[in-house]
Structure 1
């Protein structure tokens, strides 16, 4: 069952880019953007991650956290984060548990993992979902959704 607007952020845990464990309870009481992307170091995903990086302070100023999720390993995420100086958390979803938990659809006839951004308010409720393989619009739309909560 896919997450819908109004649904509560499900509890989950996953490996961070440094190999440590992340628990979704760490982000209680603050807005959060969780974006799923296909693969580290690909052109669209790199552009999207760098755009979130460039707007990260805007999200922080609104009290929000940004978390990226893909099926890459924590080691790949660490290299990706270091190369592009990404200030936010990257979670490894090698077993696709998080994709299934959130209901992220595949793209291109099931050939690629989908690109979906979820925005949750400070109470943990989903207020916005953007599903598009176009990497450029995710950041602007997520930021507008969080601004509406203020």
Structure 2
């Protein structure tokens, strides 16, 4: 995940070395903090909680991502779930409805523009809106990160 995003965002050279080793925009895997976990991957302004499981529990992963984003002082937490036997760029990135709306507003997009630009699909799980989420793939999410960084609206 980290390596894919750094390459796609142009943060590494052809040898995989950071162009600017001190840039806060480099996608990194932080040291784990124990009880105050800060997420698996930092991709400013997002914390990514990365999972490789057979039966994803997306709402649980999203709650974990949002707690870890608060611990790390980042505005957004998302869950990333690997798709078996697929390239990393096809992994699924899940947003809570609240996070998706905040990101959409930060980008200045309408709901339809956000869905069209980044290929989001909606998952509604029953009447409990706390279990609803929106999903895109890692490739589209990386474009979204680049667009967020251009506007610096977080």
Structure number with greater Rg is 2
**Which structure would you say has the larger RCO, counting Cα contacts within 8 Å and 6 or more residues apart?**
1
Same fold (TM over 0.5): no
Q: Which has the higher strand share?
A: 1
What is the TM-score when the length of structure 1 is the normalising length?
A: 0.28
What is the TM-score when the length of structure 2 is the normalising length?
A: 0.28
